Amino acid sequence: MSGLKNSPFGKRLRAAQNQSDEEEPRRTRPRVNPIFAVKAGSSSTPSLDSRPTSSGGESDEHVPLERGRRRREQTPSRSPSRTRRDYGDRFVPSRDAGDMRTSYHLMEDMPTTPSKSRIIPSESDALREQANALFTSVLHTEVTPPSPHRPSSPARPPVTATPGTPSTPSRRRIFHYNSPSHPTTPTRRLDDPTDAVYSISPVRAESRLILESPRRQLRSVCKTPYRVLDAPELADDFYLNLVDWSSTNVLAVGLGSCVYLWTAHTAAVSKLCDLQSKNDSISSVSWVQKGTMLAIGTMSGRLHIYDGATLQLQRSYSSAHGQRIGALGWNSHVLSSGSRDRMIHHRDTREATLKPFKKSQGHRQEVCGIRWSGDGGVMNATLASGGNDNKVCIWDLRGSNRRRNTSVGTNSGSGTEDGVGDAPLWKFHEHTAAVKALAWDPHVSGILATGGGTQDKHIRFWNVFNGAMLNELDTGSQVCNLVWSRTSHELVSTHGFSSTTAQNQICIWKYPSLNMVASLTGHTHRVLYLAMSPDGETIVTGAGDETLRFWNAFPSPREGKERQGKESMLDFGKLIR
């Protein structure tokens, strides 16, 4: 054995065993990840550009096995709280760490807002709503058709045997076929040509009846103006009234220091006056209800009356007010003017005297709106005025120096030698901004609509008989003007500064539902001026963009008369003499 042990073969065998014994522990060393040079099984996360560090000029791969083993035993273990992060070439977001409300756009539980923060009404597309309602009806008829002869649910036979008791099966056949002894007559007549079997329509008869039934004809409003006129030097001032349309179909516009007349049926333009030589400018214009008389107020407080047919000056009041005249209103031959001096003067244009026969003082700031009630009845002597003090006053000129204590407002003023001191019939305090927009309802007597400025944005409706507020509407925009339609019970409002996306719009409202019929846009500045044509079909709007736009807002009164005429031909009772 010693010879074999010391033979070359034995030496090679011992060398192979020693080599295998030395490589045995080397295989137990942790392997290295070839991509990021991270030790497999290690809990640490090195940087992507990490390199093997050397200690004393030697790397870990050149350290003997015993030193590396002792170093691993002496190194404290990593904290198990640290999570392992693997880096790869793809990024897959973790849904566990995401916000569910943000990912799926869920609505937050917002606190309820008070009644003052009402939803701003928007224009409703009547045609679309009608089509949606029709589609819903047809769909309901097709999916759940009415079935008067619906079969009843099968009844379960009564159980005679006690549950759990064994029973002897009968000797009856499992499959038993026989023909009915008394054949029943079918309820469906296949020889009927109107039967659904022979119908070529994809819907049921009930759905066809809904589709073929007559529908209500909806009024469409053109969203674009049919005429646009340039109006250079048209002032962008909320407190002025520079546009008015006469009963003779002539439009008066104040531009700077001049007043121009535009005849609608001929499109002819004429220059009425020019106050440049007097170093004055126009602040308000107003036509008499019937006739050709035009009143013009100026920034210096002068008042002029012109004849629009002859273009001649009829009367002039050089010191009508101490400051600018921003509002004018006619009641037959009585002319009322509101000024920045907080006064309202009433003059009889038939008299030669220059002094007003009555003065009204109920506002503490500038009077920017005046409207007479023109129903021709008992309310014909009622005047509504709005001021920059956010108040609305109702005046009755038939009374003299009388005081009324009302729950709506307080009356202020004292009798003087000049006639000042007539307390207003009513005084409304609900508006929170300047009230320029005033309009009397021509269809219902005693109904007044008022609109507030930027800080108010409301249209309010009043009953001046009892001083009660009937309704209010939050428009979301500064209300600049109001006018009622003569052919339908609708109201037009023009707007300026807005808290919504819609800016400088003209809105048409249905009364008393206060639903928006249409919204007209086109002006790039506040729509400060509004007037209606004598036939009640067209409205004209003016803005700070120095343009006048004409809109076909309401149906022509001739259409209603023609419709009534056609209906009257079917009334044979009128043919009997």
Q: What are the DSSP calls for 245-268, one per residue?
A: E-TTSEEEEEETTEEEEEETTTTE
**Left, alpha or beta for 138 (phi > 0: left; psi -120 to 50: alpha)?**
alpha
> What integer pLDDT is reported at residue 5 of this predicted model?
62
Is 505 a member of any domain? yes
Under a CB-based contact definition with an 8 Å cutoff, are residues 518 and 122 in contact? Answer: no
Determine if residue 311 is left, alpha or beta; phi over 0 gives left, psi from -120 to 50 gives alpha, anything else beta.
left
- What is the pairing mode between strands 392-396 and 344-348? unpaired
Q: 3-state secondary structure string, 516-575?
A: EEEEECCCCCCEEEEEECCCCCEEEEEECCCEEEEEECCCCHHHHHHHHHHHHHCCHHHH
In a domain, residue 179? The reply is no
- Does the residue 125 lie in any domain? no
Classify residue 223 as left (phi > 0), alpha (psi -120 to 50) or beta: alpha
Is position 188 within any domain?
no
* 326 domain residue, yes or no: yes
With respect to residue 456, please indicate whether it lies within any of the assigned structural domains: yes
Residue with tokens 């009534």: 564
CA angle 329, 331, 332 (to 5 degrees): 130
Query: What pLDDT shows up at residue 310?
Result: 95
Residue 81 lies in a domain: no
Burial of 456 (0-12, 13-18, 19+ CB in 10 A): buried
Q: Quick check: 502 and 488 in contact, CB under 8 A? A: no
Q: Which residue has the tokens 């944005």?
A: 457
Residue 502 is predicted with a pLDDT of 75
Count of all residues that appear for the chain in the document = 577
Question: What letter represents residue 420's amino acid?
Answer: V
Domain that holds residue 334: 230-564
Residue 444's identity, in one-letter code, is V
pLDDT in tens, 50-106: 444 444 444 444 444 444 444 445 555 454 445 555 555 555 555 554 455 545 555
Measured distance CA(235)–CA(256) in Å, rounded: 7
In this predicted model, what pLDDT tens digit does every residue of 97-139 receive, in sequence order? 445 554 555 544 444 433 444 566 777 666 777 788 888 888 8
* Residue-level pLDDT at 104: 52
Q: What is the pLDDT of residue 193?
A: 72
**What is the reported pLDDT for 133?**
83
- Largest distance between two CA atoms of the chain: 160
Question: How many CA atoms does the CB half-sphere of 419 hold within 13 Å?
Answer: 14
Q: What are phi and psi of 8, to 5 degrees?
A: -55, -35
Closest by CA position to 330, among listed 443, 261, 247: 247
Q: What is the CATH number of the domain that holds 397?
A: 2.130.10.10
Q: How far apart, in whole angstroms, are the C-alpha atoms of residue 558 and residue 564?
A: 10
| Position 207 in a domain | no
Number of compact structural domains in the chain = 1
- What stretches in the chain show pLDDT beneath 50? 27-72, 77, 79-81, 97-98, 102, 107-117, 376-378, 400-419, 563-577
Evaluate whether 50 touches 37 at the Cβ level (below 8 Å): yes
